Structure 1
Amino acid sequence: MSASETRQLIESYYKAFNALKPQEMTALVSDDIEHRVNEGAIRLGKEKFAEFGSHMGVSYREELKDIEIFVNADGSRAAAEFIVHGEYLQTDPGLPEAKGQKYILPAGAFFEVKGGKIARVTVFYNLNDWIAQVSA
């Protein structure tokens, strides 16, 4: 893939995220996707990726703003930086109780692209900052 095609792929991924369409996000990842979430287990495969997307829609309502996408010259890797504007809807095990708390959190992600699909996505944010915001 060219750098411009990779940029379009990542833009489509985040457009689907913001439109609350996890099935469209899943269509953009490879069958053997490696999904590395912040402070969590590595999820391998499209089925685990789809399960995570469904869970997120129940526990959180998030919109990503100020998205900046960076792509290497051959289009095999990309990164994105953004601000998460969210609402905590349903308590996740091991986390503070959800009461509809709102939060704003800087975050980022790294991507590997193979065969026109996202083969790896690694997401980072400051969990302590999030916990402080939803616990206030």
Structure 2
Amino acid sequence: MTEELSNATASAEAVFTMDPEATMVNLIDLLVKSHRAYANMMTQIQQVDVEGAPPVDAAPVTAAAERFHRQYVTEALPSLIASLQLTAEVVRSFGFGPCRVDDPVEAAIWNNKWFVYANQLRPQAFSVTVTD
């Protein structure tokens, strides 16, 4: 059973397919919805700050907003932009119609591009070493 699953995964990775027109429309919708949710959350946090809610009451809301902000900036937004970047590259390479790449090497390259783009778009953690 494990070998069958492994073969199925390998087969799926050996092909790259995309309908860039539909993908782009869906990604734009997702970007707009996610940014609207982000803007609403940040607006609510500002309202809590302006209204002067007691710090004890505001602390859980502020902590949740900070987590949401960090996740949006470091994960959601870079993922969406990487998807749009890949879709744009597909359009430049193949046009707006559905495309399919069956060559296993080429398909692996196309399947990996999103991961490369997403990694490039995410803020990278770094550390500073202080020496005397």
Q: Which has the higher helix share?
A: 2
TM exceeds 0.5? Answer: no
Under TM normalisation by the shorter chain, which class is it? under 0.3
Higher relative contact order (CA 8 A, sep 6+): 2
When normalised by structure 1's length, the TM-score is 0.22
Q: Which has the higher strand share?
A: 1
Higher gyration radius (CA): 2
